[in-house]
Chain A
């Protein structure tokens, strides 16, 4: 089945984007990204370690010629920080497709939507294609889209919480109204959560901790790949209606 999705003019087959944080080492990380069938990985920008410049580097394992790198602004709390970080990312890798996240505080890591919208406008003015991590608020999601977001990425639950999709109603409203791709970003804990997101009609799912903190990250990556495909196919197939009462699968006529 030819079923692709397109963001900012780039077309992908895999609907699972994986993060590269929290793994015990970059080799496991690379193996998990392969097992997930991912074509896009998120990455962060940080200062190099000057005291040990020979330590392993992400790009030596998770290679930019194999995966599309999606630089993020994790850890940024203002629009200016986000713009500065992504300008450096653009210079480091040459990519203009980026993930914006502007967080409010370190306890729940929920997005600061007012600041996120302001940062989005700064980045678009600077020529970036911006996929935006956001709250599951359909009103703000529309504002982001109107401001030029390349994709809307509402959380299912707080980052790293693994609690699954908390507000299916709001996600449904966001998906219904959006003309750009919608991705559930954050909150997936296990495979069924990813399937639920895809059954709702999301274009893709982005996750990190659910794979990285599984006892066997590579096996969980494979589970997530299957869950995303299963959820997508279920969405395309169109589910049966829910009924109050039973409806027999075997005909009642002709009983002996």
Chain B
């Protein structure tokens, strides 16, 4: 399965849902926000959201800023 995550092309084994992707990337789902194909996915819906070949995923978090 080919995904674009934060602008980087990635080849991954098929995943059941977005929650599995977050875990496989080593991220804490409580500390990120996710866009799938330009649509925000509510945190409560990660386990119901499929990840499909060709998806463009953005995963962001808070960093320091002014």
Which A positions have Cβ atoms within 8 angstroms of B? 19-23, 26, 29, 42-48, 50, 53-54, 57-59, 62, 69, 71-72, 74, 84, 87-89, 91-93, 159-160, 186, 207-209
Residue-wise interface mask of B (35-48) relative to A, using a CB-CB cutoff of 8 A (1 in contact, 0 not): 10010111100000
Q: Once the chains bind, are B64 and A29 in contact (CB under 8 Å)? A: yes
Q: Once the chains bind, are B40 and A44 in contact (CB under 8 Å)? A: no
Distance to closest chain A CB from B3 (angstroms): 11
Q: Once the chains bind, are A22 and B43 in contact (CB under 8 Å)? A: no
The CA-CA distance from A87 to B33 in the complex, in Å, is: 9
Count B-side interface residues using an 8 Å CB cutoff.
26
Q: Determine which residue in B25, B26, B42, B63 has the highest number of CB atoms from chain A within 10 A of its CB, and name it.
A: B63
Q: Choose one: A26, A43, A54, A57; the contact of B65 (CB below 8 Å).
A: A43
Note all chain B residues with C-beta closer than 8 A to A72: 65-66
Q: Once the chains bind, are B64 and A47 in contact (CB under 8 Å)? A: no
Q: Once the chains bind, are A22 and B66 in contact (CB under 8 Å)? A: yes
The 7 A-B pairs of least Cβ separation, nearest first, read A44-B65, A19-B66, A208-B66, A92-B33, A20-B64, A53-B26, A91-B33
Q: Once the chains bind, are B65 and A59 in contact (CB under 8 Å)? A: no
Note all chain B residues with C-beta closer than 8 A to A57: 31, 61-62
The CA-CA distance from A69 to B25 in the complex, in Å, is: 26
The CA-CA distance from A69 to B5 in the complex, in Å, is: 26
Interface presence of B32 (CB below 8 A): yes
Q: Once the chains bind, are B62 and A159 in contact (CB under 8 Å)? A: no
Distance to closest chain B CB from A160 (angstroms): 8
Interface presence of B58 (CB below 8 A): yes
Distance to closest chain B CB from A107 (angstroms): 17
Once A53-B25, A53-B27, A208-B66 are accepted as A-B contacts, the answer to whether A46 and B61 lie under 8 Å apart by CB is yes
CB closest chain-A residue, reference B10: A50
Note all chain B residues with C-beta closer than 8 A to A20: 63-66
**24 interchain pairs (CB within 8 A)?**
A21-B64, A21-B65, A22-B64, A26-B64, A29-B64, A43-B65, A44-B64, A44-B66, A47-B60, A48-B27, A50-B6, A50-B25, A53-B27, A54-B26, A57-B31, A58-B62, A59-B31, A72-B66, A87-B40, A88-B33, A91-B34, A92-B33, A160-B66, A209-B66
Q: Once the chains bind, are A23 and B61 in contact (CB under 8 Å)? A: no
Distance to closest chain B CB from A102 (angstroms): 15
Distance to closest chain B CB from A53 (angstroms): 4
Distance to closest chain B CB from A139 (angstroms): 26
Q: Choose one: A43, A47, A69; the contact of B7 (CB below 8 Å).
A: A47
Q: Once the chains bind, are B40 and A59 in contact (CB under 8 Å)? A: no
